[in-house]
Structure 1
Amino acid sequence: MPADQQTVLDEILLSDLYNDPYPIYRRLRAQAPVAWVPAANRYLVTRYDDIVHLERNPEIFSANEHGSLMTRIMGHTLLRKDGDAHRRERAAAEAPMRPRTVKHHWLPLFQRNADDLIDEFAGDGTADLFQQFAGPLAARNLALVLGLRDALDTDMQRWSQAMMDGGGNYADDPVVWQRADTAAAEIDDAVYAAVRHARRQPDESVISAMVHAPDPLTIDEIRANVKVFVGGGLNEPRDSICVATWAVLTHPTIRAEVEADPARWRAVFEEAIRWVAPIGMYPREVTRTVELGGVTLEPGSRIGVCLGSANRDETVFERPDEFDINRANKAHIAFGGGPHFCLGTWVARAQVAQVALPTLFRRLPGLRLSDTEEVRLGGWVFRGLLNLPVSWTV
């Protein structure tokens, strides 16, 4: 790599990626699609085709990264395992999140939760939907699906943020580690109580499924995997609700289309997670010498799989920076790919596209962005809105 190009990469800061990673990704895709970025302490992989390739070859690009930040705070989760070990834990957890169970068991409960939350502020005429709707709804729904019967919305949101911050703590901030460790201990206590209940009274929850699987998971395996579900299973629906709502409110033509045909909310959801991928980057580790994107990677090389970049790859998506629910190519990879394709995909689609979005626009007439407060975004490992101030007609 030319010295001047490496100098440019050396100048990339985590703060720049947090504020707005897309200009950086655009430059990397064009000039250095597999680039060693010192601030991230890994090679960032930014092109769509390279990411699809590596996900199809997990024996070379392993999820079991040594020294993983996620493993440090959560334990050895299924997201950091490959092969039979991964398949065993995934199989134990997946039944409650299959489409049929989501449709017949969880969907009515998600709708009840959405209506209950909107009831609390519908008469006010203003709200921050991030704080008052999207976050609490994602938290409440996830607690139900996991079987964390005694966890409050506030607990779930605090735990999730701490897990996400820890998993993305590439700056090695000790305050972030302390917050993550505290949350991890509290999740362990909640899981222990849920496991005891599930052993006495099996139900449709993920924890119950893991307890009663043909090859049951140990308590340590359940605790680790609940942490990863809390970390990723709350922010993705929360952030996609906010991004999708913001997008529709700023695109009047799209708003008219979906309000005329509610079936189009599914397209809004899928485009929202392409446009701003909630899980923007995750790690992999190279197991043998391999070439990727014109770069030779040696065993042990750490890479960052940048979904947020791949989903805006101009060689795959026309006008990738625009929000367009009618684009010809809808093949985003916001849910990842290969053996690690997101286990909660159908849960996310149901609670966002079938419940949250249509319910918000139906129940809050004249919904519009605040005239006095700006919408803020942040993040690159996880990215989404930080607030969503709105008003409507009472």
Structure 2
Amino acid sequence: MVTNAPVIDIDREAFWHDPYPTLAHLRASAPVAYVPQLNATLLTRRGDIWTCEKNTAVFSSEQPEGLMTRLMGQNMMRKDGAAHQAERAAIFPSTSPRTVRDIWLAQFQAAATSILDALAPQGRADLVSDYALPLAAEALKAITGLTNMSAAEMDRVSQGMIDGCANYAGDPQVEAHCHACTASIDRHIDARIAEIDARPDASLLSVQRRAGLEDAQVRANIKLAISGGQNEPRDAIAGTIWALLTHPEALNAIQTGHATWRDGFEEYARWISPIGMSPRRIAQPFTLHGTTLEPGDMAFLMFGAANRDPACFADPERFDLTQNRSKSIPFGAGPHFCAGAWAARALIAEVALPMAFARLPRLRLDPDHAAVFGGWAFRGPLSIHVQWDAP
């Protein structure tokens, strides 16, 4: 264990509701600090995270006893070096910029059209549950190949795995629910294999099987895709719309052509960091800011702190489309840069945002229901109620 790191206690509940004040304190006064409530050492400065994430000899993704590995199997995110690169290459045909442009984009647009057709006459909705959730799920069903899974079940199993992987308190009910969710995914994979082998496509299930990956690898990587590919786009779709509605000057800049929908999404991703943290196992002794990390220690790379680092951003606590985001790392850095980044950008910036504002006239927040956010390892809105002028 770390022996000379500053020990910083946190209020777990307050941290879940709003992690940014604690992260700012750590970043300024204890950039490498052991937090007993998380049983990990937190790195909170952007420069340190940018460098250390690439140093896989020390900050290893291989975590045999980690929550993700135990609950979901050893997916490519929990591998380094040649093993990681081989699996990343195997899935690339499903998530490449060309595949997103030529195959998935039209399916994203069709799903958004169908959802908005049903929503438009209603005049009100919860953006999270009524728009972002089903749109993210329909996109993910196509990409994974699990077209036999309902949107509600896709969201349920994703959230169950997310909760399991963030279950640092060791709640047995959370763990049991996570196992039930991964079992559901396995059943849906089983039901699709014969058809997907007979009629190969660009889905993750199909391209991995054609690449010859072992069955356990295929399943673990599909679970990985679901654990991140549902909740993060869901939260970013609803959250970016909320950010634009609460910052009308930013929305006006986009609608008048002075900024883009992608600017809106990427500034939200910097400001909120839907992926707030990535864990690493220390593989060999390493000293940073006078603190020596020892083999076996757990280190959390806190993207939610890095993306608000005042050393890198002029006004980091504000949502500002004019901000220089060149040092933002919402998708991570180095060899584990998010493989789904191109699909996420297309779904959110090219489809979900422009289509919502085009189809829902005078879209606005419901004054009777405040938006509710939560989370620190994964952060996003729990509900965002909106209204618009129904036809």
- Alignment counterpart, residue 174 of structure 1, candidates 172, 175, 180: 172
SS in 2 for 1:122: helix
User: Distance in 1 between the 2:19 and 2:303 partners?
Assistant: 11
Structure 1 position 159, deviation (Å) = 0.5
Structure 1 position 148, deviation (Å) = 0.4
Structure 1 position 261, deviation (Å) = 2.1
Structure 1 position 2, deviation (Å) = 12
- Alignment counterpart, residue 326 of structure 1, candidates 302, 322, 325: 322
- Alignment counterpart, residue 389 of structure 1, candidates 371, 385, 389: 385
Indicate the residue corresponding to 1:140 in structure 2: 138
- Please tell me whether residue 345 in structure 1 is matched to residue 358 in structure 2: no
Name the amino acid aligned to 2:244.
V
User: Distance in 2 between the 1:222 and 1:192 partners?
Assistant: 12
Aligned residues: 389
Give the 3 Å change call, closer, same or farther, for CA 295–83 of structure 1 in structure 2.
same
Name the amino acid aligned to 1:324.
D
- Please tell me whether residue 376 in structure 1 is matched to residue 376 in structure 2: no
1:256-271 maps to which residues of 2 (within 5 A)? Answer: 256-261=252-257, 264-271=260-267
- Alignment counterpart, residue 303 of structure 2, candidates 307, 310, 314: 307
- Please tell me whether residue 111 in structure 1 is matched to residue 109 in structure 2: yes
Indicate the residue corresponding to 2:195 in structure 1: 197
Structure 1 position 3, deviation (Å) = 11
Structure 1 position 195, deviation (Å) = 2.6
Name the amino acid aligned to 1:157.
D
Contact map agreement 1:122 1:364 (CA 8 A) in 2: yes
- Alignment counterpart, residue 362 of structure 1, candidates 340, 358, 362: 358
Name the amino acid aligned to 1:172.
G
Indicate the residue corresponding to 2:53 in structure 1: 55
Indicate the residue corresponding to 1:276 in structure 2: 272
Contact map agreement 2:5 2:32 (CA 8 A) in 1: no
Structure 1 position 4, deviation (Å) = 12
User: Distance in 2 between the 1:290 and 1:258 partners?
Assistant: 45
User: Distance in 2 between the 1:4 and 1:53 partners?
Assistant: 19
SS in 1 for 2:230: helix
User: Distance in 1 between the 2:250 and 2:240 partners?
Assistant: 11
Contact map agreement 1:45 1:305 (CA 8 A) in 2: yes
Indicate the residue corresponding to 1:164 in structure 2: 162
Name the amino acid aligned to 1:146.
T
User: Distance in 1 between the 2:349 and 2:256 partners?
Assistant: 15
What TM-score, normalized by structure 2, do the two folds share?
A: 0.97
User: Distance in 1 between the 2:58 and 2:3 partners?
Assistant: 27
User: Distance in 1 between the 2:289 and 2:111 partners?
Assistant: 46
Deviations 1:317-337 (A, max 9, x none): 111010011112432111011
- Please tell me whether residue 37 in structure 1 is matched to residue 35 in structure 2: yes
4+ aligned runs moved over 3 Å, structure 1 = 1-6
Indicate the residue corresponding to 2:122 in structure 1: 124
SS in 2 for 1:40: coil
Structure 1 position 260, deviation (Å) = 1.7
**What is the root-mean-square deviation in Å for CA atoms of aligned residues?**
1.6
What TM-score, normalized by structure 1, do the two folds share?
A: 0.96
Structure 1 position 389, deviation (Å) = 0.2
- Please tell me whether residue 68 in structure 1 is matched to residue 66 in structure 2: yes
- Alignment counterpart, residue 93 of structure 1, candidates 91, 94, 101: 91
Structure 1 position 5, deviation (Å) = 6.1
- Alignment counterpart, residue 153 of structure 1, candidates 151, 154, 161: 151
